[in-house]
């Protein structure tokens, strides 16, 4: 473990405001004052979150404590988002000409933000239908992504709110969406790569559900909303449909939103729960419905294929209480806990139960 890893660990934890790095130990704290009351001798690196989105650079301060020891503080400036003017974003996108994507609520353009010391490629999402849905989506995006920091989420860099104009500025993901990676004409991902993709998505959803201070339900997990960086690491994007849950609350009521055909019955009825993301996770990876083609022309272990089919079967159960939490899904994918026997074959997805049963016998 090094200082950079400790920095990232604190940044990705909503409850971490201060981290102390000493030797090989990274201690995360909720309050700077808690450290101030601690009288420990010796050198330590103190990493402090600052709400300052004006710079992408980290600032280092060095001072001398009362006991004569030198303490170093690394001030992380990437905690909050920046505010951009409409003219600046129009210039960055060359008049909004380089369109790279379009969704139900807005269009995404590629742009370049240039300063005296840097040149940063970004993705700028211009929201439409502002008076109706776009206005609500903008509020959701700002509240959710502004406080969510995880290596498995697309980072929000800033926003524009001028008159009726609503724009969001994201880090640019060079390799496009998971949809293109899975269903495009290029090289298909191997079975091992697919497992890694599912695990990264699961960790992102787990962060939203349980690790962020404000619990979040995404409600529109699909290949188009999973983006790939230059290392083909998958990150969750588009929080416009996110449901914010207060502590001890499992349901939140809302209007019908999301990708038609992918929302479960509980969503269509106006009620969404964390387990809805479990079902959409499964649909995102096995969307083509022909599971045998996942390992076409590969020497994959049949037992691994059946294991993933079993896990997928659990995730798409109609009864909410039957579906596993994202934490359990993550543990099953990592092999920490066993995947239980398949659900009752008389359920609403009995056709898939029969498919798994036949695969186990062959």
Residues annotated catalytic, as ranges: 220
Coil, helix or strand for 104?
coil
Q: Euclidean distance between the first and final Cα of the chain, in Å? A: 46
> Which residues does residue 46 pair with via DSSP β-bridges, in sequence order?
20, 73
Give the start-end residues of each E strand in 32-162.
Answer: 44-49, 59-64, 70-76, 82-83, 99-102, 106-114, 119-127, 156-162
β-strand pairing of 70-76 with 44-49: parallel
Question: How many Å separate Cα 167 from the centre of its chain?
Answer: 20
In the block, residue with structure tokens 């509020």: 139
Yes or no: say if 272 and 217 are a contact pair by the CB < 8 Å rule: yes
Token readout for 330 is 């993550």
143 is in an annotated binding site: no
Helices vs. strands in the chain: H and E counts, helices first: 11, 17
**CA-to-CA distance for 256 and 250, rounded, in angstroms?**
18
Q: What is the dihedral of CA 55, 239, 183, 309, to 10 degrees?
A: 120
Name the residue among 188, 19, 190, 167 with its Cα closest to residue 84.
Answer: 167
Name the residue among 305, 311, 323 with its Cα closest to residue 359.
Answer: 305
Which residues fall in the annotated binding site for ATP?
125
Could you tell me which residues are annotated as the binding site?
Answer: 125
């Amino acid at each position: 473990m090094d200082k950079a890893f400790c920095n990232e660990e604190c940044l990705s934890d909503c409850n971490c405001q201060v981290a102390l790095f000493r030797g090989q130990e990274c201690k995360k704290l909720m309050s700077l004052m808690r450290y101030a009351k601690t009288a420990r001798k010796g050198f330590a690196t103190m990493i402090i979150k600052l709400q300052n989105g004006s710079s992408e650079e980290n600032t280092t301060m060095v001072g001398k404590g009362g006991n004569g020891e030198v303490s170093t503080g690394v001030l992380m400036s990437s905690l909050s988002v920046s505010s951009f003017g409409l003219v600046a974003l129009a210039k960055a996108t060359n008049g909004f000409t380089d369109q790279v994507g379009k969704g139900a609520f807005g269009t995404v353009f590629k742009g370049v933000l240039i300063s005296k010391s840097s040149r940063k490629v970004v993705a700028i999402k211009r929201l439409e239908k502002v008076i109706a849905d776009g206005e609500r989506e903008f509020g959701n995006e700002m509240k959710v992504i502004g406080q969510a920091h995880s290596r498995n989420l697309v980072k929000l860099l800033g926003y524009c709110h001028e008159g009726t104009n609503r724009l969001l500025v994201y880090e640019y993901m060079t390799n496009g969406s998971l949809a293109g990676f899975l269903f495009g004409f290029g090289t298909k991902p191997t079975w091992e790569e697919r497992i890694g993709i599912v695990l990264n998505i699961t960790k992102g959803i787990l962060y939203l559900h349980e690790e962020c201070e404000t619990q979040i339900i995404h409600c529109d997990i699909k290949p188009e909303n999973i983006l790939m960086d230059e290392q083909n690491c998958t990150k969750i994007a588009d929080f416009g449909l996110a449901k914010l849950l207060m502590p001890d609350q499992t349901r939140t009521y809302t209007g019908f939103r999301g990708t038609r055909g992918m929302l479960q019955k509980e969503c269509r009825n106006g009620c969404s729960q964390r387990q809805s993301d479990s079902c959409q996770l499964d649909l995102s990876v096995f969307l083509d419905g022909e599971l045998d083609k996942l390992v076409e022309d590969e020497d994959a272990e049949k037992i691994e294929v059946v294991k993933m089919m079993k896990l997928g079967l659990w995730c798409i159960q109609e009864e909410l209480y039957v579906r596993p939490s994202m934490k359990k899904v993550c543990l099953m994918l990592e092999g920490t806990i066993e995947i239980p026997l398949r659900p009752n074959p008389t359920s609403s997805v009995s056709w898939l139960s029969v498919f798994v049963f036949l695969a186990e016998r062959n």
